[in-house]
Every structure is written in C-alpha cells, then in structure tokens.
C-alpha cells in the first residue's frame, strides 16, 4: 500500500469517468447522504460499473468526491470482495468457502476449477474469460457447495457439474450477465 496511495492531492488526468457516471455520482448518489463519507460504497460501485475495476486513480477520485483521505477509501475498497483492484475475467467464479460449503466439499470444487482453468485462486485465465476467487458466505447454504458466477448462483455442485458449467459458459449455452 505504501506508495500506492501517495499523491500530490490531485487526480491523475489520465483517469476520466464518463459524463453520465460523474453526473450520477454528483447529482444522484451524493445528495442521498447527509455526509459525503456515507456515499463511499455507492461511489466506488458506480466507478467500478463503468471501469470494470478500481485502479489507484479511481480510488483517488472517490476520495476526493467523498472528501475522505485515500487511506480511508482504500480500507473500504479492500474490505469488500465485490470491489476489484485489477481487471477480472468475463466470468468471475467466486467459490464460497464458509462452513456449509466446506463441509459439503468446496475444496473439491476449487481444486477442479484450478485444474480445469490452469489458474490459482486470485488469477485470471490468459484468454481473459475466467477469474477464480474464494469468498466468504454467499448466504446460499442450501446450495452448498456453490459458486457465484458474476451475479448468478450455482449449486449444489460436484466436480462433474463444474465441468459442465465451464463448458456451458465457454460455449455461450449458459446465459449469465458478463461481469461488469
């Protein structure tokens, strides 16, 4: 983190949001909150919706807009798994790793995904199609073991069902909204 947040206090001119997103942040999101600090999450979300991830310049922009130190915005950014600091694949595979999924075999699911995709947790396939993550509770214990693909839940899974899901995603037979 050291160096990443150091700044002269101004935003790098290379970072630009569309007029639509900037207007949405300033005219729709910020006015809903009595304190600008309270708008950190929706501001970060709006930026990520447009850019796909939150780079250093996006964080500095958000800090300026909500009138908070970059370190505070960074702490929020790194606390939530829904925010990405690097570009992610078209399909974000989020394996739930909490108690119910652990008991029901999430390690087998993660291992199968690693094997089939040739990547480890936190990595993206070379073709930019898949990013693999492990996350805390997705509140779908009845589907254990399960994964979230972008905004959609899949489970209960077996290694064989993982194979089918990957093939369906690659071929377009499984319709999920592309991640951001």
> Which residues of the chain are in CATH 1.10.10 domains?
19-79
pLDDT at position 175: 66
pLDDT at position 22: 95
Question: What CATH class is the domain 91-171?
Answer: alpha beta
Question: What CATH class is the domain 19-79?
Answer: mainly alpha
What is the mean pLDDT for each group of 10 consecutive residues in the chain (180 residues)? 47 77 97 97 96 94 96 94 88 93 93 97 94 91 93 93 94 64
> Which residues of the chain are in CATH 3.40.30.10 domains?
91-171
pLDDT at position 176: 62
pLDDT at position 151: 86
Rounded to whole angstroms, the Cα distance separating 37 from 34 reads 9
pLDDT at position 7: 47
pLDDT at position 166: 95
pLDDT at position 174: 67
């Amino acid at each position: 983190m050291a160096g990443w947040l150091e700044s002269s206090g101004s935003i790098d001119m290379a970072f630009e949001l569309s007029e639509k997103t900037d207007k949405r942040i300033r005219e729709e999101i910020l006015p809903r909150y009595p304190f600008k600090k309270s708008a950190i999450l929706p501001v970060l979300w709006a930026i990520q919706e447009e850019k796909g991830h939150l780079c250093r310049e996006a964080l500095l922009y958000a800090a300026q807009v909500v009138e908070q130190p970059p370190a505070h915005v960074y702490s929020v950014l790194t606390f939530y798994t829904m925010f990405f600091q690097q570009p992610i694949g078209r399909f974000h595979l989020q394996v739930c790793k909490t108690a119910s999924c652990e008991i029901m075999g999430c390690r087998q699911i993660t291992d199968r995904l690693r094997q089939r995709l040739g990547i480890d947790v936190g990595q993206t396939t070379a073709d930019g199609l898949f990013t693999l993550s492990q996350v805390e509770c997705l509140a779908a214990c009845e589907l254990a073991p399960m994964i979230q693909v972008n905004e959609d839940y899949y489970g209960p899974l077996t290694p064989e069902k993982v194979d089918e899901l990957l093939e369906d995603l690659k071929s377009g037979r499984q319709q999920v909204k592309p991640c951001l």
